[in-house]
Amino acid sequence: MKSFDLCLAWDWEYDADFVSLLQAASQSSGLSLFQITTENLTEIVQLLYDEEITFKTFFDRASDTNEYFDPIAQWACSHVQYHINLQKRAHLAWDKEKMHSAISIYGHTPFTIILPSYSEQPVLPEIDLGRLGTSFTIKPANGGGGVGVIKEATSLEQVYAARQQFPSQRYLLQTYVTPATLDSHKAWFRVICCVGKVYACWWDMDTHVYTPVSCREETLFNLSSLKHIALSVADICKLELFSTEIALTHEGHFVIIDYVNDPIDLRLQSKAYDGVPDAIVRDIAETLIMETGKRILDQREGRSAAVDSRQMRYSSSLMLQYTG
């Protein structure tokens, strides 16, 4: 059986630059990277089930949107020890209702009303929208890319219509947050977490352009809380790589707007105006490879220690037999 250190499953053409950076980092570290794409998918499924190849670490950037990768993801869940964004953790993180319940303990969430799905309860009891403020956001509990999200809603009619658009979805109604302005920047941030590293960026809500928060800006505007909040989210969702959106209100409160984004868009900013700054993507690739190497080394050392322990117990047993 041939074994690889890291397997990456991907099918989005715009991931190509990130994959190249991951490949370069793996080569520099002496680790083997195996890629599963739509071109070799059928062949690899057969090889896996025939036990001809295996992987020490699995990174899935395909099965969330492409069901043909499900057999790979399912195989990995029961055969691969280490994962970057383990599937069952990712599925929990995608549920905004569950994340809200967990994250609200830290007090960084907007005021929220959670509604049952239309299928569960077509007719709702009276809702006091006044508690949400002058406008609010309507979000389905599951889904990404802004699908089904209505910003600055103001009426119950909009709530009723949204629930019927996706009748199986539970919905979150959240106070619409207007960010403060800091030195011409709207204080809206997209913060990327990667294995304990935090990359905080100003994020333009209209253009979706990233601008890294500088050390000077972090000090000047007292933005160190961005890192602490993002690491708290990481501790809850247990994902190695994700992003979160955080706004700073006029009252000086940091509020998490979008709890966990996964998988994240890793297009290079040099190739797409709304991509992630190249240096951040490169560092993410290198960090993931370093983490892969560390896990593999820890596993080897753990096995070695276990063997040494067994040998010591065996030697002690022989000594007792000899002296007895």
CATH class of 2-85: alpha beta
DSSP result, 252-289: S-EEEEEEEE-SPP--BTTTSTTSB-HHHHHHHHHHHH
Residue 298 is predicted with a pLDDT of 85
Question: pLDDT for 23-60, tens place per residue?
Answer: 999 999 999 999 999 999 999 999 999 999 999 999 99
The superfamily CATH assigns to domain 111-175 is: ATP-grasp fold, A domain (3.30.1490.20)
Residue 41 is predicted with a pLDDT of 96
Residue 303 is predicted with a pLDDT of 57
Mean of the per-residue pLDDT values of the chain: 91
- HSE, side-chain direction, 13 A CA sphere, residue 148: 21
Asked whether residue 311 carries a pLDDT value surpassing 50, the answer given is no
Across 273-297, average pLDDT = 97
Question: pLDDT for 188-234, tens place per residue?
Answer: 999 999 999 999 999 999 999 999 999 999 999 999 999 999 999 99
Residue 107 is predicted with a pLDDT of 80
Question: pLDDT for 141-196, tens place per residue?
Answer: 998 777 889 999 999 999 999 999 999 999 999 999 999 999 889 999 999 999 99
Question: pLDDT for 95-137, tens place per residue?
Answer: 999 999 999 988 889 999 999 999 999 999 889 999 999 999 9
Residue 145 is predicted with a pLDDT of 76
Of 56, 51, 50, 13, nearest to 32 by C-alpha is 56
Phi, then psi, of 322 in degrees rounded to 5: -70, -50
Residue 106 is predicted with a pLDDT of 81
Given phi > 0 = left and psi -120 to 50 = alpha, else beta, which region is 139? beta
Question: pLDDT for 51-104, tens place per residue?
Answer: 999 999 999 999 999 999 999 999 999 999 999 999 999 999 999 999 999 999
Residue spans per domain, the chain: 2-85, 111-175
The residue among 267 and 313 whose pLDDT is bigger is: 267
Asked whether residue 322 carries a pLDDT value surpassing 60, the answer given is no
Residue 299 is predicted with a pLDDT of 79
Asked whether residue 316 carries a pLDDT value surpassing 80, the answer given is no
Asked whether residue 287 carries a pLDDT value surpassing 90, the answer given is yes
Tell me how crowded residue 20 is: count the other CB atoms within 10 A of its CB.
12
- HSE, side-chain direction, 13 A CA sphere, residue 252: 2
pTM metric for this prediction: 0.89
